[in-house]
Amino acid sequence: MSTDIATRRTVAQVLDHVWENRARVESRNAYAMMLLALARENPNLACLTADMNFEDHFAGELPRQHVDLGIAEQNMIGVAAGLTVSARPVFANGMSPFAIARAFEQIKIDVAGANLPVKIVGTHAGLASGHYGPTHHSLEDLGVIRMLPNMTVVVPADSWEAAQATVAVAEDPGPAYLRLGRQATAPLYQERGAFVLGRARVLREPGRVLFIATGPHPNLVAAGAARELADQGVSAGHLNMHTVKPLDQEAVLHACANAEAVVTIEDHRALGGLGGAVCEVVAEVGGPPVRRIGVPDIHYDLVGGEEYLLHHAGITVSNAVAQALDALG
Residue 154 in any domain: the answer is: yes
Position 57 scores a pLDDT of 86
| Distances from the Cα of 89 to the Cα of 44, 46, 169, angstroms | 7, 7, 9
Peptide bond into 97 cis (omega under 30): no
The string of pLDDT tens digits covering residues 274-301 is 999 999 999 998 889 999 999 999 999 9
Q: Which long-range contacts (CB under 8 A, 24 or more apart) does 316-321 make?
A: 316/221, 317/221, 317/224, 317/225, 317/228, 319/293, 320/211, 320/221, 320/222, 320/224, 320/225, 320/263, 320/265, 320/293, 321/225, 321/228, 321/229
Which amino acid is residue 167, in one-letter code?
V
Residue 69 in any domain: the answer is: yes
Torsion of CA 249, 255, 257, 261, to 10 degrees: -110
Residues 241 and 313 in one domain: yes
Residues 89 and 233 in one domain: no
Which amino acid is residue 25, in one-letter code?
V
| CATH code where residue 303 lies | 3.40.50.920
Residues 265 and 315 in one domain: yes
Residue 190 in any domain: the answer is: no
The string of pLDDT tens digits covering residues 245-262 is 999 999 999 999 989 999
Taking only the tens of pLDDT, the chain with its 329 residues reads: 455 787 889 999 999 999 999 999 999 999 999 999 999 999 999 999 998 876 778 989 999 999 999 999 999 999 999 999 999 999 999 999 999 999 999 999 999 999 999 999 999 999 999 999 999 999 999 999 999 999 999 999 999 999 999 999 999 999 999 999 988 999 999 999 999 999 999 999 989 999 999 999 999 999 999 999 999 999 999 999 999 999 999 999 999 998 999 999 999 999 999 999 999 999 998 889 999 999 999 999 999 999 999 999 999 999 999 999 999 98
Residue 148 in any domain: the answer is: yes
Residues 12 and 156 in one domain: yes
C-alpha span between 95 and 101 (Å, rounded):
10
| Distances from the Cα of 108 to the Cα of 85, 104, 156, angstroms | 18, 6, 23
> What pTM did the predictor assign?
0.96
Residue 54 in any domain: the answer is: yes
Q: How many domains does the chain have?
A: 2
Secondary structure, 3-state, the chain: CCHHHHCCCCHHHHHHHHHHCCCCCCHHHHHHHHHHHHHHHCCCCEEEECCCHHHHHHHHHCHHHEEECCCCHHHHHHHHHHHCCCCCCEEEEEEHHHHCCCCHHHHHHHHHCCCCCEEEEEECCECCCHHHCHHHCECCHHHHHHCCCCCEEECCCCHHHHHHHHHHHHHCCCCEEEECCCCCCCCCCCCCCCCCCCCCEEEECCCCEEEEECCHHHHHHHHHHHHHHHHCCCCEEEEECCEEECCCHHHHHHHHCCCCEEEEEEEEECCCCHHHHHHHHHHHCCCCCEEEEEECCCCCCCCCCHHHHHHHHCCCHHHHHHHHHHHHC
Residues 153 and 43 in one domain: yes
Which amino acid is residue 102, in one-letter code?
R
The string of pLDDT tens digits covering residues 60-105 is 999 999 999 999 999 999 999 999 999 999 999 999 999 999 999 9
Residue 55 in any domain: the answer is: yes
Residues 225 and 144 in one domain: no
Residue 191 in any domain: the answer is: no
Residues spanned by the domain of 306:
201-328
